[in-house]
């Protein structure tokens, strides 16, 4: 029996109206993500990657097509989805744990239960000793870990990540890639990552959905046939480099 996709996107179109006429961002984008799978959506800047994420998250309306999450049409934001944005967007007057608890407050989850869960996710991202620190006392990488913990705190079944490490230096970015895989291996949430980094997409993913330039179509869906758990050494392996090169040739090596 075929397993129903956790995320299903079919013939997705998004057209924006501007003073100078209509601009088509997405033109028939189609892909599925299976339960517990880690999939990256990759493409050049301006290709509509983040628009796909916002539509799946229920934060933006599609023009046409079908978007379903766990078998239901997306009509708005859903509790089952956790989102990590490019910028951590932590409230500077709230401590780390208070920032993590914010979604639980909005969802009116029991305070004691929420705090226990928040501390659990804080420990999961390796910052259990930083619960009472304010954002200005944390590095950029630590702030993004808090953002990940916040997205996990209400126990969503799906994680959407919008270029969460793009503003970080390469060393920190690579370290957080490892941390993200560790968290995913622990929780196995269905995950969709938006990125323009080919190497990041290949390192993290089971499959990579490659979008072309606007108006975006799916150029290819690439199976990442690399063993798990992934290790830093894999980045210099022949198999890894060949996959990166294959994708790069399809969308332009300047995006690697």
Residue spans of the domains in the chain: they are: 1-80+158-171+180-256, 84-155
CA distances for 19 relative to 16, 22, 23, 178, angstroms: 10, 8, 10, 44
What lies within 8 Å, CB to CB, of 208 at 6+ separation is: 39, 40, 41, 42, 201, 202, 221, 222, 224, 247
Instruction: Return the ∠ at Cα 222 (arms to 158 and 64), rounded to 5°.
Output: 60
The residue with tokens 């950029």 is 140
Residues 162, 84: Cα–Cα separation, whole Å: 6
Q: Find out whether 133 and 55 touch, Cβ atoms under 8 Å.
A: no
Sign for the CA dihedral angle at 222, 256, 176, 151 comes to: negative
Looking at domain 1-80+158-171+180-256, does it have CATH number 3.30.930.10?
A: no
Helix axes 111-124, 170-187, angle to 10 degrees: 130
How far does CA 201 lie from the centroid of its chain? 11
DSSP 132: T
pTM summary value: 0.93
- The pLDDT tens digits along the chain (256 residues) read 567 899 999 999 999 988 888 889 999 999 999 999 999 999 888 889 999 999 999 999 999 999 999 999 999 888 899 999 998 889 999 999 999 998 888 888 888 888 998 999 999 999 999 999 999 999 999 999 999 999 998 889 999 999 999 888 889 899 999 999 999 998 889 999 999 899 999 999 999 999 998 899 999 999 999 999 999 999 999 999 999 999 998 876 544 4
């Amino acid at each position: 029996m075929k397993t129903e996709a956790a995320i299903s996107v079919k013939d997705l179109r998004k057209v924006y109206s501007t003073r100078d006429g209509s601009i088509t961002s997405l033109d028939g984008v189609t892909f599925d993500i299976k339960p517990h799978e880690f999939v990256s959506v990759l493409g050049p800047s301006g290709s509509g990657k983040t628009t796909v994420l916002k539509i799946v998250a229920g934060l933006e309306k599609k023009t046409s097509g079908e978007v379903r999450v766990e078998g239901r049409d997306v009509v708005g934001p859903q509790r089952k989805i956790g989102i990590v944005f490019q910028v951590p967007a932590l409230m500077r007057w709230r401590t780390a744990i208070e920032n993590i608890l914010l979604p639980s407050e909005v969802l009116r989850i029991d305070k004691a239960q929420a705090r226990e869960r928040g501390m659990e996710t804080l420990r999961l991202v390796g910052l259990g000793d930083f619960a009472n620190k304010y954002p200005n006392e944390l590095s950029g990488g630590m702030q993004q870990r808090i953002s990940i913990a916040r997205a996990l705190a209400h126990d969503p079944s799906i994680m959407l990540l919008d270029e969460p490490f793009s503003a970080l230096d390469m060393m920190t970015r690579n370290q957080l890639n490892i941390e993200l895989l560790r968290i995913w291996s622990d929780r196995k949430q269905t995950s969709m990552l938006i990125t323009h980094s080919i190497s990041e997409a290949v390192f993290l993913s089971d499959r990579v959905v490659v979008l072309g330039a606007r108006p975006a179509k799916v150029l290819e869906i690439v199976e990442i046939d690399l063993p798990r758990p992934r290790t830093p050494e894999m980045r210099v392996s022949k198999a890894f480099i060949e996959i990166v090169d294959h994708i790069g040739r399809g969308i332009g090596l300047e995006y690697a």
